[in-house]
Amino acid sequence: MTDISTSLPIVWRETADPQDYEQARVGRVFNHRRPDRHPIAIVEAETEDHVVQAVKLAKKLNCRVSIRSGGHSWAVWSVRDDAVLIDLGKMACVTIDEERLVATVSPSTTGKKLDEHLSEKGLMFCGGHCPDVGLGGFLLQGGMGWNCRNWGWACEQIVALDVVTADAQVIRVDETQNSDLLWAAKGAGPGFPAIVTRFHLSLRRRVPAMLSSSYVYPIAKYREVMAWITATMPYDAATEIVAVAASPAHLGQLCIIALFVTFGDTEEECEVALADANCSRPSGFLEETTNAKTSLAKEYRDQASANPTGHRYCADNGYVKNDADVVSVLEPGFTTLPTTKAFALWYAMAPCSRRELPDMALSMQSDHYFALYTIWEDEKDDQFCQQWVRNVMEEVAPHCEGAYLGDSDFQVRQTRFWTDEKARSLRAIRRSRDPEGRLCGYLDRGDQSGVRGLLNQDQWCDNA
């Protein structure tokens, strides 16, 4: 079709076998609620030069470029009408500099894969909680990784980037060169105005011990359990604290689960960290597990089970205001789940939520992160499940500071994803780095945001 494309691993919409095109279009999409959007072509890039050539091809065709790393992307931002989709799934790179404590990874590298490399060397990186999420979208959205409430956002550990720009130039990004893009990479999400081919990440020494305590209660105990976990959560430097509404298959009922995972140098240290929760937990639980040995490998298996493949998903979220009546605000979301596979989550963000964030695009947070993950199998349930999410969030959203990009769908609802100042800076960087709007950016209703980006205002989209 064009001279540029002859050296590219490319699947064209008009000439490929329909099954091959469909596999390239959505075969690596996690959410089986597939979008009715169709790229002109999909480039299954294996090298940085493939990315460069794909951008040049898009320019020659006068069309846009979208990028897929390989995360959960509930709204499937990578699949855009009449764009060249660059799929980075076949770009495999993981190198570890043990002396400098830096990992270099390609965007499609998953947290689980990186951890497999790091565990052998006594190192770790706080990647995403789900094992199959690529680091690309996760980091660009901020990265709510392991023990984020104490160790900070994963994007804070980005020390450098290798990127292909909107005009097909390969550049290095760090604190001394192209630093505006380093700033934007920490929280711009799908509006990052370049294509990352390598992340260079600061690592930490692996903690030798991990213990967990969990308590499963019938949902009738919601108010008591939620009041306890939000009011008495220990503010130590090593414990991750979560409350989940879910329907464990072996119990056959909706439950609220309080989960504490702690990281320490010794098991004794972990036991001390968990002591407050173990002693103060409410009575009336259905199941109790205290001070159980765990590992990132085990936690990844549990997360994979909670987020099954081959299903349809809808998600939404918010940072609930610190002065809100959190127990009452979240009650409908926790107690009325529409399917047995859906779950609602409250995630403790303090004490890091109380600190002044580094200067970066990511700039919204509160002590209380809330998210809905609605999961079902049959297309006939799409409207019911999506409407349930909207109904709950219409009640929750007025009590929120803003939301996290990673669990949002801009086609349905927009809100504040950055402070006003950071949003203005991000829009300026996008205009400067991609004035033609070559890179697709934020997928809003009708895909109209373009170079402008999101308005950073509360807005429900009509007929969404």
- Residue 414, SS3 per DSSP: strand
Residues of CATH 3.40.462.20 domain(s) within the chain? 209-413
What pLDDT is recorded for position 4? 61
What pLDDT is recorded for position 399? 98
What pLDDT is recorded for position 44? 98
What pLDDT is recorded for position 216? 98
Say how many residues make up the chain: 464
Secondary structure, 3-state, 75-109: CCCCCCCCEEEEECCCCCCEEEECCCCEEEECCCC
Has domain 3-87 been given CATH number 3.30.43.10? yes
**Across the strands, what pairs with 102?**
97, 202
Would the CA dihedral through 267, 269, 274, 279 be positive or negative? positive
Of 57, 144, 184, which Cα lies nearest the Cα of 453? 184
Question: In angstroms, rounded to a whole number, what is the distance separating the alpha carbons of residues 52 and 49?
Answer: 5
Other Cβ atoms closer than 10 A to 341:
20
Of 232, 321, 218, 317, which Cα lies nearest the Cα of 274? 232
Residues of CATH 3.30.465.10 domain(s) within the chain? 94-205
Q: What is the pLDDT along the chain (464 residues), one digit of tens a residue?
A: 446 666 899 999 999 999 999 999 999 999 999 999 999 999 999 999 999 999 999 999 999 999 999 999 999 999 999 999 999 999 999 999 999 999 999 999 999 999 999 999 999 999 999 999 999 999 999 999 999 999 999 999 999 999 999 999 999 999 999 999 999 999 999 999 999 999 999 999 999 999 999 999 999 999 999 999 998 665 677 899 999 999 999 999 999 999 999 999 999 999 999 999 999 999 999 999 999 999 999 999 999 999 999 999 999 999 999 999 999 999 999 999 999 999 999 999 999 999 999 999 999 999 999 999 999 999 999 999 999 999 999 999 999 999 999 999 999 999 999 999 999 999 999 999 999 999 999 999 999 999 999 999 999 987 65
Has domain 209-413 been given CATH number 3.30.530.20? no
| CATH class of the 94-205 domain in this structure | alpha beta
Please answer whether residues 239 and 150 qualify as being in contact, where contact means their C-beta atoms are separated by less than 8 angstroms. yes
Question: In angstroms, rounded to a whole number, what is the distance separating the alpha carbons of residues 389 and 403?
Answer: 15
What pLDDT is recorded for position 234? 56
* CB contact set of 176 (below 8 Å; sequence gap of 6+): none
Digit-coded pLDDT (tens) for 169-188:
999 999 999 999 999 999 99
